[in-house]
Structure formats: structure tokens, C-alpha cells
Amino acid sequence: MFNVNFDLTSGIIIIQPHEKLSSEDFHMVSDAIDPYIEKHGKLNGIIIAVKAFPGWDSLNAMVEHFRFVKAHHYKVSCVAIVTDSIVGELGERIASHFVNATIKHFAFGELDNAKNWIKQINCLPNE
């Protein structure tokens, strides 16, 4: 299950997983962001904030995660991974070769720095 906070003004969504990820979690996030993307053409940033990566509850959940990434990576400008887990560093290094979004890892507790990074690297539209 996720907590999802969406700043409609800046087009930044913050996802905070609390337990193993399920297929339904990825459908829920898609349902939250797809109308915004349809209206604005893209999402400026996704911030994934979790102390340690919780894993998936099933193989199907992992597949849905990859489907979510494949369906959205050209529609998201920036991804900030805010975690103390090694997955954050690996995600930044590995995923950057497979996705269109700019990706950066931050230590857990640096949520504000992640938001500011998205704003500073021009992921946001010109005002």
C-alpha cells in the first residue's frame, strides 16, 4: 500500500510505500496520475520516499511495476528516489539507462531537497 500525495500545481507526486508492493498499488498510482498527464502532457516529477525498499508481494506485482514504468517513463520528466536502501543508488544508476526520465537518489529524510531538485533542473514548465 502507498500513501500518494499529488501537488497539482507543480505536477509532482510523492509516493510513500508502507508495505510490500501489490499489483493494485500500481493501478492506483496510474489512476491518480493518468488524468493529469492526459490534461498536461506530462508529469513533472515522481518522488518515491521510503526508508527501505519493501519488495513486492508477488511476481505479478513486480511485473505490474515494470509495466507501470514502461507505460509512463516518457511522460515523467524527473524521478527522485528518497531512501537509505541500496535500491535507491542502484535505481539511479541502472534505471537511467532504460527510462527517459532524469533520475536522482537522495538519502531518506531529504524529501525537501528532492522537491527542490525537480524544480531547479527545469522539470517544471516555465511560468
Residue 25 CB coordination number (10 Å): 23
Residue 34 CB coordination number (10 Å): 14
State yes or no: pLDDT of 95 exceeds 80. Answer: no
Residue 15: strand, helix, or coil? strand
Specify the amino acid at residue 50.
V
| Choice between 90 and 120, residue whose per-residue pLDDT is larger | 120
- In order of their start, the domains of the chain are 2-120 (3.30.750)
Between β-strands 43-49 and 76-82, what pairing exists: parallel, antiparallel or unpaired? parallel
Taking only the tens place, the pLDDT of each residue in 41-63 is 999 999 999 998 888 999 999 99
* DSSP assignment string, 49-85: E-SS---BSSHHHHHHHHHHHHHHTTSEEEEEEE-SS
| pLDDT the model gives residue 127 | 39
List beta partners, residue 45. 12, 78
